């Protein structure tokens, strides 16, 4: 069982400067010990999807099934998200899926592993991976799924419930926009300004699964994603 900790060394020192592709980052992340979550989880679950994705989704952390398979969004919440992507009109072939925290945090109850929300220390420790992923992606829309991802990208003051479904400027709305302002343009290390994009926050698909009125919660998720789909179509 993962213990609480007040501080963690962070992921930065596990990111090799020469890792200039998502595959290289993924390989490096498999050895990350930037916080204590690596100890009890099965493996690092790095982002997956289209490297030239128009839409990048950022969730909270891998769940039990993701931890076993090593792939993000393959459990019940992931299936629901894929259905919502289809129903909103977004192209499922052009998305990239990742999480703010890349190891499964859980509590053992008997033989069951019960999800535990990551603490701020885990979000902060893992943020360098998210920044490194964004440095290699060029999304037109970033979709933030739930409060943990919102904290990681937008800071603790952001309230998903208040600003969900609203298009915001990216990276200008990030907590530290400078982290996301430049992207490499070639293998020689040339960098350029990140093309302006938009960000949209919505609820995490697992919140739909936990809702008393799942149909209504699902409709809300699809309505938010439809805002993104329309923005891309426009
Ligand atoms: S949760 Fe993130 S920072 Fe912590 S060990 Fe895993 S990859 Fe590293």
Q: In a mutational test of the pocket of ligand 1, which residue from 11, 30, 129 has the highest number of ligand atoms less than 8 Å from its CB?
A: 11
What pLDDT is stored for residue 185 in this prediction? Answer: 67
Q: In a mutational test of the pocket of ligand 1, which residue from 31, 34, 106 has the highest number of ligand atoms less than 8 Å from its CB?
A: 34
State the closest ligand 1 atom to the C-alpha of 41, by its place in the atom list counted from 1: 6
pTM > 0.85: yes
What pLDDT is stored for residue 54 in this prediction? Answer: 96
What φ, ψ does residue 165 adopt, rounded to 5°? 75, 5
Between the CA of 230 and the centroid of ligand 1 the distance, in Å, is 35
Ligand 1 within 6 A of 37 CB? yes
What pLDDT is stored for residue 1 in this prediction? Answer: 44
Q: Quickly tell me which residue has 């426009």 as its tokens.
A: 234
Ligand 1 within 6 A of 136 CB? no
Partners of 112 in beta bridges: 109
What φ, ψ does residue 195 adopt, rounded to 5°? -60, 140
Residues in the chain: 234
Between the CA of 80 and the centroid of ligand 1 the distance, in Å, is 25
Could you tell me which residues come within 8 angstroms of residue 111 by beta carbon, excluding any fewer than 6 positions away? Answer: none
C-alpha torsion 79→228→162→221, nearest 10: -30
State the closest ligand 1 atom to the C-alpha of 105, by its place in the atom list counted from 1: 1
Largest Cα–Cα distance of the chain, in whole Å? Answer: 53
* Three-state secondary structure string covering the chain: CCCCCCCCCCCHHHCCCCCCCHHHHHHHHCCCCCCCHHHHCCCCCCCEECCCCCEEEEECCCCHHHHHHCCCCCCHHHHHHHHHHHHHCCCHHHEEEEECCCCCCEEEECCEEEECCCCHHHHHHHHHHHHHHHCCCCCCEEEEEHHHHHHHHHCCCCCHHHHECCCEEECCCCCCHHHHCEEECCCCCCEEECCCEEEEEECCHHHHHHCCCHHHHHHHHHHHHHHHHHHHHC
What φ, ψ does residue 221 adopt, rounded to 5°? -65, -45
d(CA 89, CA 68): 30
State the closest ligand 1 atom to the C-alpha of 118, by its place in the atom list counted from 1: 1
Ligand 1 within 6 A of 29 CB? yes
Token reading at 104: 């499964």
Between the CA of 36 and the centroid of ligand 1 the distance, in Å, is 7
Between the CA of 87 and the centroid of ligand 1 the distance, in Å, is 33
Ligand 1 within 6 A of 32 CB? yes
Q: At what angle do helices 146-154 and 120-134 cross, to 10 degrees?
A: 70
Ligand 1 within 6 A of 125 CB? yes
Ligand 1 within 6 A of 35 CB? yes
Cβ neighbours, 10 Å, residue 64: 16
Residues of the chain with pLDDT under 70: 1-6, 184-189
Between the CA of 217 and the centroid of ligand 1 the distance, in Å, is 30
């Amino acid at each position: 069982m993962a213990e609480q900790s007040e501080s963690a060394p962070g992921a930065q020192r596990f990111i090799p400067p020469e890792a200039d592709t998502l595959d290289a980052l993924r390989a490096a992340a498999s050895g990350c010990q930037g916080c204590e979550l690596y100890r009890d989880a099965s493996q690092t679950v790095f982002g997956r999807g289209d490297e030239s994705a128009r839409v990048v989704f950022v969730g909270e952390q891998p769940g039990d099934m993701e931890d076993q398979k090593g792939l993000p969004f393959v459990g019940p919440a992931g299936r629901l998200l894929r259905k919502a992507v289809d129903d909103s009109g977004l192209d499922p072939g052009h998305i990239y899926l990742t999480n703010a925290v890349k190891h499964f945090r859980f509590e053992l109850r008997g033989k069951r592993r019960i999800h535990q929300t990551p603490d701020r220390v885990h979000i902060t420790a893992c943020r360098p991976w998210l920044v490194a992923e964004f440095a290699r992606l060029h999304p037109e829309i970033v979709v933030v799924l739930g409060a943990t991802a919102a904290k990681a990208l937008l800071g603790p003051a952001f309230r998903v419930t208040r600003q969900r479904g609203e298009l915001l400027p990216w990276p200008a709305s990030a907590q530290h926009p400078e982290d996301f302002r430049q992207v490499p343009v070639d293998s020689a290390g040339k960098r350029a300004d990140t093309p302006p994009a938009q960000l949209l926050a919505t609820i995490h698909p697992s919140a739909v699964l936990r809702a008393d009125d799942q149909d209504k919660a699902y409709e809300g998720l699809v309505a938010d994603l439809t805002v993104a789909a329309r923005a891309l179509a426009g």
